[in-house]
Structure 1
Amino acid sequence: MTGGAAGETADSAVLSGRLAQIMRPELESVADEIVAEIRALIPEYRRPLDGPYGKNIKAGVQHAVSLFVAQIADPSASTQHAHEVHRRLGQYEMREGRSLDTLQAAYRVGARVAWRRIMEVGRRSGFSSTVMSQLADAMLGFMDELASVALDGFLEAKACSADALDTWRRRLLQLILERPAAPPEAVEELAQLVGWTTPKTATPVAVRPAFPLKGAHRPSLDADVLAELSGVEPRLLVPGAVTRERLAALEQALPRCRLAIGPCVPMDGVADSLRWARKALALVDEGVLPPRRVVLAQECLPVLLLHSDEALTLQLRHRLLASLDGLTPRQRERMLETLRAWLDAQGHVVGMADRLSVHPQTVRYRMRQLEATFGDRLRDPDARFELELALRVLPTAPRQSGAASYTGVSNTRR
């Protein structure tokens, strides 16, 4: 009986070696299938695989599959490198803000896919149920081992990071702003992890410090405000609309910063709203918008739209100013001033005179100059619309330095 058992063990070892040889050409496709199924079944992993995120996931799966096949052929094969990869993977998952349940679920999915492929190969190659049963035990034990290593890495990273909650909250804000959008389930799970109630609507705030904020700077913001202030483009996310009381609290917490408040939007529109707020800050720097301490993007949407395409804006300016070639700078300035008054007053002489602070007779003289310069364009509604657009994208205020107007008190606000 003992001899029979020894013979079966020897046969199993030979067959396992054959299985390893058969599996090696399939390693890459198995790894790809595991990654695809993890992303399909677990919403938190449905992000694009470009960059460090994708490299970490793929490397972890590839090392796991390769090592298991290597151990089938040679049980003494070293696990040191694979353990290090999966320990780092566990650390990375903690820093990304994913939960232990999510990490363990990924390992279970990986084991299921790998086992499914081994069963297919085993059946095609005629392996006995005894050998396949032994392989099943080995596979489950192997995946438990790697999952345990990743868990150790996860807990190590958590223990070493006193700022773990802040890290997760910043990660949550990043996830909300991602494009393409992250799955709502991924956002909700991370929100639950950090104790943040996901609102139906939210307001992003673009922050422009007068001086760079230090990494250790922790303003006393409300607990429900998500913040990322240490990056190149500091930003906040406020649940719901920004009330007067909330705005006062933000100004007090960030006393030497200009704030651009985006429109309050549903959660899937937050990234666009933040983009508009950032554009408003840029237009303040360019002198297009007044240098207020707080800029409300909702109040200047037409200006943001007009300046949303810089190349197109320059083209509009060029077409307008080309009509004034040959004039001196002073003559051109007066012509543009008259054209603006003509459009604002809808051609009424008295209204134009009031706007220009000149005599109506002077207005009639200037109108003859307008007619000579722009001709039929003044009578064409589409051409008039284009002229007004072009006038509105011309700079009307001197360029401001970014910090000069808000390093002190906020008496320039609204």
Structure 2
Amino acid sequence: MATLSPPSADALRATLPDLADDIIAAIVSEVPDYARAMEGRFGEVVRFGVTIALSRFVDVLSGAKPKSDSQARDTYVRLGAGEYRAGRSLDALLAAYRVGAKVAWRRFVDAGTNAGFEPDTLYDLGAGMFAYIDEISAESAAGFAEAQSDAAGESQRRRRALVRLLVQEPPAAEETVRTAAQAAGWTLPRLLAAVVAGESAEPERTDELDGIAARLARRLGPGAVGAAVGGIAIVLLPDPEGPGRRRALESALSGDLAALGPAVVWPEAATSLRRASAAFRLAEQGRLGECGGGGDPSSTGQSSASPGGGSSANLVVAVEHLPALLLAAEPALAADLARSRLAPLDALAAGPRERLVETLRAWLDRPGQVQAVAAALEVHPQTVRYRLKQLRELFGERLDDPEARFELALALRAADGVRYT
């Protein structure tokens, strides 16, 4: 940019007193978003920004060090931030800068011509003017982006706080939750369910778990909110039983393991979280086996997807594993049940014991159906009859008592289908 002599710079400065008013009038006329915005505090800030911009530009042209350069930059940054907070895009402000540059350029050309500027000087003046507008536009864009980032961060912080408040025990007061939900911009749903998507006992991984929860919440849409709570990455999913919600959740997981708690009214969110957390832990250990929804005992803990809406390979649905969750809730009691009800088998060697346990499980699932038991075990029906004779010698009338059979089935699952640590 060419440097102007002091007399030439003074010729431009002489236009400044009235130029700011002309620029403001042009902006109001040509930028619709600002037709009514130039009153009050906003109008004062814009007028100050225009005055500073013009004075600063002439200082640069004259080779003088601009006064209050950091103050000027802060002005344009604040203008950009103000556009975000006012709910406008940056387009209107950038358009205002272009309108201002056009008006200033015309006035400077007239002043420069009258002062005898060389044509090359006028060309340089125009190039410098529009380069300068690009510079302050960038400063306002930075202010806009910073305000946007701050708002997003504050919104995310409030939503994480809301998640923690919803699942805390004992429950927070309903009015406290409603106030937090309003501050977070989140509508409390009629029903919600907790989704557990990660767990860690390491405190330093809280940020990582927050990230896992936030990513899953974003994939599920604007209604979902997520946070790390007590070493667990959770998402609260509104309307979990709505059309397509299960499928959307399975797709959002992208192959990662997660557990879905039961649908509850929002004041009972902690209950849904407890169930989902217990199911997630058992699934991670591969200990669900037969205890939920008739899964394959050789599976890793997740039942396969089915047309009837069962769990996907990566989504464990807590309500489909209630017997396992019941046993897991009292592991010592479950171990006592297994030891006491299966005690008649203790005296057997490992091989015979394993075969009789296998037969007992199959027979309890298909009482009185020798052919079906034989097919399930892939043995001859006579082998089944022989083993049943041995079982009757060990368990006696308990095999004919419905209550005792239920206890034996539960004991078998406590001993083999699910293990607790």
TM class by smaller structure: 0.5 to 0.7
Number of equivalenced pairs: 241
Matched, 1:359 2:380: yes
Greater RCO between the two (CA within 8 Å, min separation 6)? 1
Question: C-alpha distance in 2, partners of 1:285/1:214?
Answer: 16
Specify which of 398, 407, 417 is matched with residue 386 of structure 1: 407
Compute the displacement of 1:163 (Å). 2.6
Matches within 5 A, 1:15-414: 163-208=153-198, 213=208, 218-219=214-215, 220-221=218-219, 222-229=221-228, 232-241=231-240, 245-247=244-246, 249-250=248-249, 254-255=253-254, 257-289=256-288, 290-291=301-302, 292-396=313-417
Question: C-alpha distance in 2, partners of 1:184/1:340?
Answer: 48
Compute the displacement of 1:226 (Å). 1.3
Counterpart code for 2:240? A
Compute the displacement of 1:316 (Å). 1.3
Identity level (%): 39
Q: Does structure 2 retain, via aligned residues, the 8 Å contact 1:287–1:398?
A: no
Which structure 2 segments of 5+ residues have no match? 1-148, 289-300, 303-312
CA distance change for structure 1 residues 394 and 285 in 2, over 3 Å: closer, same or farther? Answer: farther
CA distance change for structure 1 residues 365 and 270 in 2, over 3 Å: closer, same or farther? Answer: same
Question: C-alpha distance in 2, partners of 1:392/1:348?
Answer: 21
CA distance change for structure 1 residues 382 and 248 in 2, over 3 Å: closer, same or farther? Answer: closer
Counterpart code for 2:391? L
Q: Does structure 1 retain, via aligned residues, the 8 Å contact 2:240–2:246?
A: no
**1:190-236, CA deviations, whole angstroms, 9 ceiling, x for partnerless residues?**
11111111111111101127996366665234222111048611101
Counterpart code for 2:349? T
Question: C-alpha distance in 1, partners of 2:268/2:152?
Answer: 32
CA distance change for structure 1 residues 326 and 242 in 2, over 3 Å: closer, same or farther? Answer: same
Question: C-alpha distance in 1, partners of 2:211/2:393?
Answer: 63
Q: Does structure 1 retain, via aligned residues, the 8 Å contact 2:198–2:209?
A: no
CA distance change for structure 1 residues 245 and 341 in 2, over 3 Å: closer, same or farther? Answer: closer
SS of 2:336's partner is: helix
Structure with max Cα Rg? 2
Q: Match of 1:83?
A: none
Counterpart code for 1:173? V
Question: C-alpha distance in 1, partners of 2:252/2:210?
Answer: 16
Counterpart code for 1:266? V
Question: C-alpha distance in 2, partners of 1:179/1:192?
Answer: 21
Question: C-alpha distance in 2, partners of 1:343/1:377?
Answer: 11
CA distance change for structure 1 residues 195 and 257 in 2, over 3 Å: closer, same or farther? Answer: same
**1:123-147, CA deviations, whole angstroms, 9 ceiling, x for partnerless residues?**
xxxxxxxxxxxxxxxxxxxxxxxxx
Compute the displacement of 1:254 (Å). 4.9
TM-score, structure 1 as length reference? 0.53
SS of 1:346's partner is: coil
Q: Does structure 2 retain, via aligned residues, the 8 Å contact 1:203–1:239?
A: yes
Compute the displacement of 1:333 (Å). 0.8
SS of 1:307's partner is: helix
Q: Does structure 1 retain, via aligned residues, the 8 Å contact 2:261–2:273?
A: yes
Q: Does structure 2 retain, via aligned residues, the 8 Å contact 1:175–1:187?
A: yes
Compute the displacement of 1:355 (Å). 1.9
Residue range with higher mean Cα deviation, 217-226 or 370-379: 217-226
Q: Does structure 1 retain, via aligned residues, the 8 Å contact 2:199–2:232?
A: no
SS of 1:383's partner is: helix
Q: Does structure 1 retain, via aligned residues, the 8 Å contact 2:253–2:314?
A: no
Question: C-alpha distance in 2, partners of 1:179/1:230?
Answer: 12
What RMSD in Å do the two structures reach over aligned CA positions? 3.0
TM-score, structure 2 as length reference? 0.52
SS of 1:260's partner is: strand
Which structure 1 segments of 5+ residues have no match? 1-158, 400-414
Q: Match of 1:144?
A: none
